[in-house]
Amino acid sequence: MSDLLEITRPMPQVALLRINRPEARNALNAALRRALTDAFTDLPQDDALRAIVLAGDERAFMAGADLREFASMGTAEVARLGVRRMWNVIADCPLPVICALRGVAFGGGLELAMHADIIVTGEGARLGQPEITVGIMPGGGGTQRLVRAVGKFKAMKMLLTGEPLTGPEAFAMGLASELVPDDQVLPRALEIAARIAALPPLSARRIKEVVLAGEDAPLATGIMLERRAFETLFDTADKTEGMAAFLEKRAPDFKGD
C-alpha cells in the first residue's frame, strides 16, 4: 500500500485510513488517488471488517486536488486520468464510512468527505468548494452532493463564491453529523465506528444500500426497496440472535451471518 495512505486496524473490525501528504496539506494527486482506489476496492472484501474511518491530520483532512498536476492539462488529458473510477469505487463501498474531519477540507477534500456516511467535524475546521476561484468547477460530485446535503440556495452560495464554511457553520446547515472539539474528532469517529461494528453488519449494509439507492428515487420506489431489504434480514442468524438477546435481557453477539 502507498505511504500516502496509512491503513491500520485500531480495533479488530474497524479500518482507519489516514491520508499522509502533510507537505501538501494532503492534496489529492495521482498516487494518492490510486491508493484510495485500491483501499476502497480491497477493504470491503474482508468479511471481518464492519466500518471504515477516513482521516487526515491536524492541519488538513484534504486541501483539494494538487493543482501542480492540473495546471498545464487540457480536456483530453484530464479525461484520461481516470478520476471517475476513484469516485465510483468510494461511492460504491458497501461498508459504513465515517469521516474524521479536522483542518481544511476544500475542493476534492470536501467531495471526499461527502462520500462518507457520517461526518464528524472539528470546531476549527474549514470546508469549501473553491474551484471557481481557479477557473474550474467541482468534478468529484460536489455540485450534486452538496445540493443534496444542504439545499440549493446554500450550496449555490458556496459553489459560486468559493467561500469556505467554519466547522460550526457546516454543522448548523447539515453538512456534518457531529461537531466536536478538534482534538476529539478522531476519537469520536472511532467511537462511532466501534458502535457500528458491534451491531449486525448485514443490517448496516442494507441500511446504507437502501438509503443511497432511494435517495434519488420516488418515495414509493424507496419504500419498496426498504420493504424488500427489511424482509431479507429475517432469514439471518443475527436477526435471531438480536431478538433472542432482547427477550432474554442479555447483550447480543452478532456474527454477521
* Catalytically active residues, by annotation: 65, 108, 111, 131
| Matching residue, cell 427477550 | 247
Strand partners, 60: 104
Question: 219 with 210: CB under 8 angstroms?
Answer: no
Question: 32 with 21: CB under 8 angstroms?
Answer: yes
Long-range contacts of 123-126 (CB under 8 A, 24+ apart): 123/167, 123/168, 123/179, 123/180, 123/181, 123/182, 124/166, 124/167, 124/182, 125/61, 125/101, 125/166, 125/167, 125/170, 125/182, 126/164, 126/165, 126/166, 126/167
